[in-house]
Chains A and B, each alone.
Chain A
């Protein structure tokens, strides 16, 4: 019987990772958009995981969450370790998918016509209220697109995951790791099957994302006053 556990592990990892990325990405995008100085530097830092080799990201994560790190020592008191656990894979997926969320959301925020924000301020709305009532609703299609993109990326994460969580069947072996294992073991049939599943998943998500993006452009632009 074909072992479906990599699918469930992938989903178990990608879902919480997407939730973390969702929150972190929106916060990061908001912070960077509001920055007056040093935007390029912070932006570069936030985007770095996108261009670094995933193994390098995994290496940094090992430094940050490994047994000898502060975080690792704190959790080891409770007999828990991120290394070789699915929670470690969540961290890896979050780190790698974060830049995609951050970039997409930032783009959506920047597409919002400034005049809406000026108008909201002259009407006496506080910055917090403007964020909740104007920015988020207007950037909503972009936020959704970023979330889908991040989820797809989290689902397909390989390099950093194998560095921090390893390749333990039934525990940390995700779909992308399963493809690697199957090819290594010469199990062509399983490899084909996983590849097909992953390609279908990813393609559907890209279609959904493109739909959201096209909606964002129409939404955030100010329409002409008169028809």
Chain B
């Protein structure tokens, strides 16, 4: 049971080129909106046709541009959970689940209804269901058609926060029981982290990295991965020696306990790792000009830049987030000293 994808597609102003493999697992695709993740799913499902490439699912060739194979959508046996579920509004729950089934499979509709806690709602129309009931109906409908692969396209993005948590838990139980491959697409790093073990990061039509999730968050291999995992401070970096580098956007030479790769291009530093100092006596301490202070729900966000830094650019400003409980008026000064602990740097090539 596996999925192999290697496809390329040109659109006006956009070029998709992605290749990856997935086994019997939940593989997440993390990417900003417009990066090509939905297009990738649509190509796999057969809704869109790639210009070039090959898609193989469990040994069945779904698409092969060289051999001119392009299986129609209905023969691909792929379950697709759309962002808004796409439940047919003129059909009841029972009809929605039964609509794609052969007469033999139709006798199981009752058991799908029970399995997804939809008993008593069989004759309701989608508009009469709550968000959770809609999602369960869509999942039941998808799984009743016995897919070999299921794909979930941003299933929570249209939901309120409090509803999202509950639906996520339900969805997780269901797709963990699914015996084949599941692809989960999202732009939300937390969802992706909770949902799967392996995460593929996508940016600008390219699949950048596929990493285990712990590794991805500790040591993102690409700039996109660092940004998508929520790293707020990024700078171009120049190698000086194995433990020293120059962060050109931040305008500071820093030392790292982790070896600096020779071909380093970017360095990253997460916004909550700074430590506040009284002066610049310790190494890696930056004399900072505070440019703004923003109060967030549970934290304070301090925007600052290096005092002598005359450069302009998006990355010259840095960001420090600290819990409100640690906030005191001392920090409100115009100039403060912040230290980068040596072991917290991320290096990207």
Instruction: Note all chain B residues with C-beta closer than 8 A to A119.
Output: 80, 82, 86, 88
- B 65-114 contacts with A by CB, 8 A: 72-80, 82-86, 88-90, 99-100
Contact status B82-A118, CB under 8 Å: yes
Contact status A225-B141, CB under 8 Å: no
- Known pairs A119-B82, A226-B160, A226-B163; A124 contacts B131 (CB<8 A): no
The docked-state distance in angstroms from the alpha carbon of A137 to that of B95 is 13
- Answer yes or no: A223 CB below 8 A from chain B CBs: yes
- Known pairs A225-B131, A225-B135, A226-B158; A124 contacts B86 (CB<8 A): no
- Answer yes or no: A126 CB below 8 A from chain B CBs: yes
Partner of B134, one of A125, A137, A225: A225
Contact status A219-B89, CB under 8 Å: yes
The distance from the CB of A180 to the nearest CB of chain B, in whole angstroms, is: 45
- A 54-106 contacts with B by CB, 8 A: none
The distance from the CB of A95 to the nearest CB of chain B, in whole angstroms, is: 33
- Answer yes or no: B1 CB below 8 A from chain A CBs: no
Instruction: Note all chain A residues with C-beta closer than 8 A to B203.
Output: none
The docked-state distance in angstroms from the alpha carbon of A119 to that of B96 is 11
Instruction: Note all chain A residues with C-beta closer than 8 A to B35.
Output: none
- Answer yes or no: A24 CB below 8 A from chain B CBs: no
The distance from the CB of A205 to the nearest CB of chain B, in whole angstroms, is: 25
Greatest chain B CB density within 10 A among A118, A123, A224 is at A123
- Answer yes or no: B172 CB below 8 A from chain A CBs: no
How many B residues have CB within 8 A of the partner chain? 37
Contact status A124-B74, CB under 8 Å: yes
Contact status A225-B85, CB under 8 Å: yes
- Answer yes or no: A195 CB below 8 A from chain B CBs: no
- A 117-159 contacts with B by CB, 8 A: 118-126, 133-134, 137-138
Instruction: Note all chain B residues with C-beta closer than 8 A to A219.
Output: 89-90
- Answer yes or no: B240 CB below 8 A from chain A CBs: no
Partner of B130, one of A121, A138, A227: A227
Instruction: Note all chain A residues with C-beta closer than 8 A to B72.
Output: 121
Q: Which single residue of chain A is at the shortest CB-CB distance from B97?
A: A123
- B 35-87 contacts with A by CB, 8 A: 42, 45-47, 72-80, 82-86
The distance from the CB of A11 to the nearest CB of chain B, in whole angstroms, is: 32
Instruction: Note all chain B residues with C-beta closer than 8 A to A134.
Output: 88
Instruction: Note all chain A residues with C-beta closer than 8 A to B74.
Output: 121-126
The docked-state distance in angstroms from the alpha carbon of A113 to that of B130 is 21
Q: Which single residue of chain A is at the shortest CB-CB distance from B46?
A: A121
Instruction: Note all chain B residues with C-beta closer than 8 A to A223.
Output: 84, 89, 126-127
Contact status A118-B47, CB under 8 Å: yes
The distance from the CB of B57 to the nearest CB of chain A, in whole angstroms, is: 13
Contact status B86-A226, CB under 8 Å: no
The docked-state distance in angstroms from the alpha carbon of A61 to that of B163 is 63
Please list the residues of chain B having a beta carbon within 8 angstroms of any beta carbon in chain A.
42, 45-47, 72-80, 82-86, 88-90, 99-100, 126-127, 130-131, 134-135, 141-142, 145, 147, 158-160, 163
- Pick the 10 closest A-B CB pairs, nearest first: A123-B100, A226-B131, A121-B73, A119-B86, A122-B80, A115-B86, A225-B84, A124-B74, A137-B90, A124-B100
Please list the residues of chain A having a beta carbon within 8 angstroms of any beta carbon in chain B.
113, 115-116, 118-126, 133-134, 137-138, 219, 222-227
Q: A124-B75, A138-B88, A223-B89 are known contacts; what are 5 more A-B pairs with Cβ within 8 Å?
A: A124-B74, A124-B145, A225-B84, A225-B85, A226-B163
Q: List 19 A-B contacts (CB under 8 A).
A: A115-B82, A116-B86, A116-B88, A118-B42, A118-B47, A118-B80, A119-B80, A119-B88, A120-B88, A120-B99, A122-B45, A122-B147, A124-B100, A219-B89, A222-B86, A223-B126, A224-B158, A226-B158, A226-B159
